[in-house]
Amino acid sequence: MSLSRRTFLIASLAAIPATRFDPKPEQNWPGFRGPGSQGIADGYTTQTTWDLAPAPDKPKNLLWRTEVPGMAHSSPIIWGDRIYLATAVKLSGKAPLRIGYYGDVKASPDNDEQKWMILCFDKKSGKRLWDKTLRTSKPATDRHEKSSHANTTLVTDGKNLVGFFGSEGSTASTWTASCSGTRTSESSTIAGMT
DSSP letter for each residue of 51-102 = BSSS-TTS-BT-S------SB--PPPEEETTEEEEEEEEESSS------S--
Question: In whole angstroms, how far apart are CA 152 and each of 21, 166, 169, 185?
Answer: 28, 8, 11, 16
pLDDT of res. 184: 52
Under 8 Å CB-to-CB from 189, ≥6 apart: which residues? 140, 141, 166, 167
What's the one-letter identity of residue 136? T
The pLDDT, as a whole number, for residue 77 is 94
Distance CA 98, CA 90 (A): 16
CA dihedral 28, 34, 37, 42 (to 10 degrees): 80
List of E strands, 43-99: 77-79, 82-90
- Whether the model pTM is above 0.85: no
Please report, as a single letter, which amino acid is at residue 76.
P
**Segment 113-139 mean pLDDT:** 88
For residue 8, the 8-state DSSP code is: H
Could you report the per-residue pLDDT of 143-183, keeping only the tens digit for each? 767 677 677 888 898 888 888 776 665 555 544 444 545 55
Mean pLDDT of all residues in 59-77: 83
130 strand-pairing partners: 120
Q: How far, in Å, are 97, 99, 107, 110, 149 from residue 2 at the CA level?
A: 9, 11, 20, 16, 17
Spell out the residues 6+ positions from residue 157 whose beta carbon is closer than 8 angstroms to its own.
30
Sketch the domain layout of the chain as residue ranges.
Answer: 3-41+49-98+110-185
* CB-based contacts of 6, cutoff 8 Å, min separation 6: 67, 68
**Which region among 46-60, 92-106, 145-159, 169-183 has the lowest average model confidence (pLDDT)?**
169-183
The residues near 42 (Cβ < 8 Å, ≥ 6 apart) are 27
